[in-house]
Chain A
Amino acid sequence: MKSLIPIDKLQIKNSIKLDSGEYIDSCEVAFKTYGTLNKKKTNAILVCHALSGDQFCSDINPITKKQGWWNILIGPGKVIDTNIFFVICSNVLGGCMGSTGPSSINPQTKTNYGLKFPVITISDMVKVQEKLVSALGIKKLFAVIGGSMGGMQTLEWATKFSNKVNVAIPIATSYRHSAQNIAFHEIGRQAIMADPVWKKGNYYKTRKGPIGGLSVARMIAHITYLSELALQRKFGRNLQNSDFFSFNFDTDFQIESYLKHQGSSFVERFDANSYLYITKAMDYFDLSVKKGGLSKVFKNSNVNFCFFSFTSDWLFPTSETKTIIKSLNSSNAMVSFVEVKTDKGHDAFLLEEPEFHATLKGFIQGQIGKHEI
């Protein structure tokens, strides 16, 4: 087989059956790799991105020209050392960084899918990733790692393709989306759909999509990624431009300005329909309803797990992780778990957290000893 490594996109010829029952034809997966795959193809780590992420996890993102979203962790000599490992990161199904999603051209109609795009699940995303991994000639991944939605994909890999994974590292995640998580996502979706430019998802001919709605969705979500303490520490009640209140509805407080910036920079790189589809996929995720309960899905698992949670993460609190640990313990699995003390909230998994990085590095080193790479 011809090597696919230098190519950034894989086209999957066979149609893929989705959880919804629908099929998706000539699906494309955009991906990026770092490091070199060894001869035995045993040193591959699949990195799964979160809701707003993309395949550019390390180095400089060629599109935004900013550092990759996990550049702090992945690269030569870093915690996930690309001198040792072959890192694969793909844009999720439904995304907008090159993989097939609602903004892609529907091969049948030759126009953008829009809402004609089938509703997808985390499991569908993982099915597509598995095709990519197989196409790269990898029979078994050394590890799958991801935070938040990336952690959901990691858990899905560890249950659906447990024979193709040695090590699973789910971070700041859960086995299901809670009512509160769904609630926040629904507000975001409603904000997008209330934007008059949205037009039931059929906005691709307009110059700018529903950026007002998408920006509000991002602002709401961004609050859930932080903690009250971190917000207070960073912004307090500080005013943005003056020492006095403006007594109008312009930006007074620094926190307002910060959120607006988060919103406006997000809309430049993200598709509103993708946001609808991906948040829905997260809301549908629930491992506990599969195969008769959470403890059953992990039964006889040979995967080595290492979970991380963060004390101030209220979006995916430690209690969620502990529920999974409980099930894994009762199914006799190899599981490690660390709760990292931090006030940085859910986003801590993306940030400089020395304790988190030290434990992760140690765990990976320990696993190198256990699995031949």
Chain B
Amino acid sequence: MAPTILRVEGYGKQFQLHEQRKRIPSSHNVHFTVRAGELTALIGPTGAGKSSVLKGVYRTYLPSAGRILYRDARGHELDLALASEHQILELRRREIGFVTQFLHCLPRQATLDVVAQPLFTLGVARPEARRRAAELLSAMHLPERLWSISPAMFSGGERQRVNLARGFIAKPRLLLLDEPTASLDPITAECVIDLITGLKAEGAALLAIFHHPETIRRLADQVIELALPPVVEECLEDAA
């Protein structure tokens, strides 16, 4: 069997909103493993904390409970919930990618450079990085006339492709995907599915949320169903 690179054990997340004196549960007692060369799909009703799991793994959220054990390229295992900020940044640079539904980029930056960015930070020469960005953007049918302008004014579907290309370009070992095909037309969605299949074949592990059951059926090697966390919006006791 393919090696396990991520083990999530009892992940839980709740938000403590001080102003409203509330605790909002987001994920509760989540367990699963992710293997290299496979796609693990997270499913469940809205509010079951699917995105919260991805954000916990990427450490955009600080987990409230559980362990997130990641085995890195050198074979060392570390708990992402406890890793230092510099360790996380280094993993984000070299091994763990995240494609969200949002695109934050500099207002003036050309699309080609937005996509090539992860390679720039890895020290790949700019012409080579841009060449690979161009390759990916053609594969995703993003019209060449858009490459030199900023994605800030793109449509949702165009922006989503830029986002995906940026997530794919550095070939991360672990790629987190949050509804990456949600705003794509069927033809482009098909290209993205091909690219994901390609990444899997090259040994990448993927942890993904998909909108369409059909996409899950075609791509997922494993499906993890999340349940709604128990509804306890308890009031905090401290009356600060």
On whether the two chains bind one another, the answer is no
B residues near A (Cβ < 8 Å) are none
